[in-house]
Amino acid sequence: MSRLLFVVSRAEPKRYEYLRTAFAGEEAMEIVFDRRVGQRRRSPMPYEGDRRRGDRRARDLSHELDRLGYALVRRYMP
């Protein structure tokens, strides 16, 4: 089963409200604001105790968010 996720730019609050209204009641649809603020790490080099294995994001949405104000992502749910 998959769900669709709309990630909406923080600069587009009206688009966020429109999508929430348009897809209200759709269980297979989720609308969220982009939560990224920037890279949390200050150094590009991993520190010794790093447990992360890279970026968890499947793809970079920056271009779509800048150009369109939103990005659509398919999320596969178990």
Q: What is the pLDDT of residues 23-74, one digit of tens each?
A: 999 989 999 999 877 655 555 655 565 555 555 556 788 889 999 999 999 8
| DSSP H helix total and E strand total for the chain | 2, 3
Greater pLDDT, 3 or 2: 3
Cβ neighbourhood burial of 71 (10 Å; 0-12, 13-18, 19+): buried
Q: Model-level pTM? A: 0.68
Q: Where are the beta strands (DSSP E) in the chain?
A: 2-8, 29-33, 70-76
N-terminal to C-terminal alpha carbon distance within the chain: 7
pLDDT score for 31: 95
Cα-to-chain-centroid distance, residue 26: 18
